[in-house]
Structure 1
Amino acid sequence: MQIYCSQQHINNGSHRFCTHCGEALPLSVGQVIDNRYEIARILGQGGFGRSYLAIDRQKSRKTCVLKEFAPNIVKPQELEKAKELFEREANVLKKIQHPQIPRFHASFQAKIGTKDFFFLVQDYIEGDNYDQLFTQRQSQGKSFSEEEVINLLHNILPILTYIHSLDIVHRDISPDNLILRQSDNLPVLIDFGGVKQLPADQGFWRTQLAVNATLLGKKGYAPEEQLLQGKVYKSSDFYSLAVTALVLITGKEPNLLYDSYNGVWFWGKEIKVSPKLEAVFKKMLAYKPSDRYQKAEQVIKDLPLPSLSSTPQTMQTPTNNPHPYITKLKTEVVAPGIKRARTLHSGVHNKTTLFVQKIPMPIWLRPFTVSFIMTTGMLLTGAGVFALGNFAVKGITSITVPQIEVPQIPSINNSGNGNNGKRSIQQISSRLQKLEISANFFNNTVNEVFYTQKPELNKRQLTEKPADAALREQWNYVADQLLNNIEKANLSETARKKIGSYSQQDSQRWEQLAKAGRLGKYKSFQDLRADTYQTFEPLFPGQERGKLNQKTFLQIWYAIASDKVENK
């Protein structure tokens, strides 16, 4: 019998790994694992292995989900580390016991052929996820009503109360990670699992790294502190839940509801909800984590009361797709400049992206970071999914793991810093990390310069196409030159860290100090202003006095002034 890997390479049925690419091949239907779990069919696959619907021979042939981790490891010490991480993950999963979260049953290691494989066993949930439910509504010219979404929030928030009490943050709430359970019509939160995930060739899960930040979340659903900095708070879940609710109500992708460049939600335009619900959403979606709700109970208190006439039981499940289907979320390497055109409810809707990068990348570079797409959000019609995925757990010790090799983007000639070498995004990122400057500020400033130089682009996103190669190279050059000039400013660490947060209040404070005679050599604020421009203008020629953008170059001006005040 011939079998195929995800790359469609032909292999002999007796092989466990693809002889062409080394990928672990699927287990055979009818094969029994650990003398207990009989493989019924494959549910999905990704970089770490596969998921199977299995029959538990020791529990009256009850169905369950068997999640396979297939680390492609040879060295005994590496295998031991894999086992250690796997067991740590399983111990965390055992903590979660909630009626609206699929139950964890077991974890074990099994030898198949000459290789060791790790498995997790969890509940198999019958039902349809909210992405599928919405697709059906849309096909009928309908959408979720505000009352239905309010009821959904009232049913989901107690789950967050529970997991947050365990210091667990889900980090990946979205329509396809919420299942309307067939048995009781209650929403079930799925997609739990490892603390951090390794790349495809190692197949087990990783804790937070000491050097490389492993960032998880769906673009548009995850807040910026999560995608850019890897920082996760309990309020991050409230943000994702609010985006999910808005998507269900409006039927539009997050990027059509939010202007990421200016940080503005389209309230009253694309988003039309009642004033009370809008106020709740605005607080859940606050840019700063500290400005959001801190507890699920607070959200519940402010939410409109649930409507008895719009309970989840009234929501129809799809009947025109009797056979389960799986969306294969395969591992991808995304080149710089990618902007994928896709509709919200396509077959590959809302892939969870694993961003592996050395520092928070600029917002503009989000689509360009190397991403590994995992199978932790499998879409099943009439079949359900199992719960395995991504959350953050406090107090887990960082470990040393093999370095991840990341493809380099087209590099540019860097003559601005005297190195006469090649400057890649990774190198730019490394410099940005050392300077400890806000990625949001950096992105906005580079974009301002780049799109001023290229007005014909009308601020469109660059693509990975060869036609945009020169433009991507120019963007890199602008970024590199900006870093060169910031470095030449010799700013203090304190001043650099505050870039992006300076405001008119700072200049007002300095003006008051000058009036009080407490600004050292500067007799007036105008003296400080003139001295600051003497430093600023040679570094950033062409920036007109009095016309600096508050979000970009004026931030650098403030940083220079701040150092002058401190060294007065």
Structure 2
Amino acid sequence: MEIGSVLAERYRIDQQLSAAAQGVLWRAADLLAGESPVALRELRDPAAQERFRAIWPAMQAVLHPQIPRFGGLLEEEGALWLVREWQEGQSLSQIQRQRSERQLVFGPGEVLLLLRQLLPPLAVLHGRELVHGDLNPGNLLRRDQDGLPVLLDFGLLQQAGLRPLTGATAGYAPRAQGRGEAAAAWMDLHGLGVTALSLLSGRPPEQLLGPDGAAAASAWRIPESLNLEAPYRAVLERLLSERPGERFEQAREALQALQAVVMPESTGPQALSERTVVLAPAAPVPVPVPAPTPALPSLGRDPDASAQSPSGDQAVSARSRPSAEARQQAAEGRLWPVVGALLISAVLGTAIGWFLLSRGRSPDGAPSTDRDLVGRAPSASLPPAEVDQRQQLLSRLRALQVDRSWFLQLVDASLLARFPERNGRLPSDSLEDAPLRRVWNELAEEWLARVEQLPPDLRARLGQLKDADWQKQREALTKQGVNPRVVEQLVSASAQNLLPGVVSGSKPPEPYLQLWYAAAMRGLGDVRIEKLKARPGAPTVLSSRVPSGGARLIAIQVPAGRRLVLGINGTPLMQMTVYGADGEVVAARGPLRVVTLTPEAGSPVQVLVTNEGVSSGLLTLSCRADRLAPTPLPEVDPNPIPDPATGATGVVDGMADPPGPKPAGAAKPQEEPLAPPPPAGAIQGDGGVTN
């Protein structure tokens, strides 16, 4: 593939990033999305193509803000192309090299924060029964947008339980993976543990692994200079271990253990303990000050006279000193009234301020309603880990341009709905409410992941949307002939994706109602209407590209008295629903398929196709109007009158011959052969044969 060539009339190849056994990685520009960058992986190996065709739908279903979204599959020039969302930033290996040049390493607090940030996306990936297979600093990127770590390079991704692929980065994959044992989630956790140890020490894995080659954590040399706390060190050892009784099996177990580790005060880099270069500048060498040169005697004057009497400058200074002191004393005398006035003003201002504050104070010492997050006062102190988590949340809210006040109300309402026994009381900063604050943070992450699915213009309007905003789109579709029940289906499907559990046809209360409005506007705004006529005998074909999260509504005119044969092809994440002319569902929502509709469905028939994938997909629809199949005639008895001799009915040839003499020339019935005579010497008796 040449630089500058266009793939599938959409992706322009801009740069080759890497070439490995798992394919060639390219950076491309999406010409249909304003030339936004995307990542393309080119696969030419037939086995790799077959593997990714089977696993790609599961990859498209992985949704987490720290995992790139996976697009479609393209087949061009004998290769399979995988489309993935582009992420801008620096890999941890690049950051590690830059710091190594300055003799810096990742600090314990920084690595602990990284582990806590990486385990949630790993848990989502493992929840889909997928194993990354190659976790190392080169495949972990620190995103420029928000500073969060992102998982990259899924070339060795494998389904859990299958044989892992070869080619993982040496030193980071466990030995069991090299032996071909079944892929499991703990293998990714092991790679994450080796990554953490390498970042902390600034050394590659081969310098940290002991010579015994055992699978236990003791095989790894954790430098004593790291000065890790005992709980921190214990979690790191479990991440490094391969033994079933010692290692973490799931990401949530490791995350729970890391939450109990106290966050160090510093979450930034620190100096390498084995540094050899002194970075502090050397102290300057003192320069000797030369002794003052004695003044030369003036001409015609006694040399000793200058020592006995002051010079001219000294005399002038002596004469001017009394007048300067007098002016200074006079100035000080004039300043005292000013100082007194300032003191009186300060006393009066303080008194007035205390009076006003006492009038505005809440009765009974009620706490202030000012809050930053989770209902705590801005001046309250929390553990460093929670502070870091809150700062990250605020950064993401600012990056997404989401109204902070509305989002806090959303998370608060979710927390109080889960714990109704609190009667509207939000968690405080006390140690007893730490579990509730943890639940609040988890709810905030879940809601933020859902809000990220909305387009930027809708995200910015959350908290200000009204009922009239989505009603305009509804009326516009109705005027174009869209059945109101189809509109309801569009709104319900979009709302279910954003607000699971909402009953179809109902609206939730505020602040959830804002998300319902946004979902309705997105669902109705992404609809494109197509019109077709089904012809007798010849199929009518329509091809259309459905964007991610979008929908296509095809209205098909069917001739009277004809049945409609309808076939639709597309991506596995597309769903179809068919409505009759009266708005009733004649083919329930489900995968794309072939259906046949009777004339009772009426005309026009409306077909709704939605794309639930993270990338656009091509839709192909074929329809034909056929005549109704002729009604089969009932079976007729060829001999309905019973035979007078036997009383039997049916075909005469199938009846038995009547008794009596046969006519001449009639075939004689075949006689049964006679039994052979008994052998000589045998005597037949009543009970059998004896010799």
State the TM-score, normalized to the length of structure 1: 0.43
Which protein has greater RCO, CA pairs closer than 8 Å, 6+ apart?
A: 1
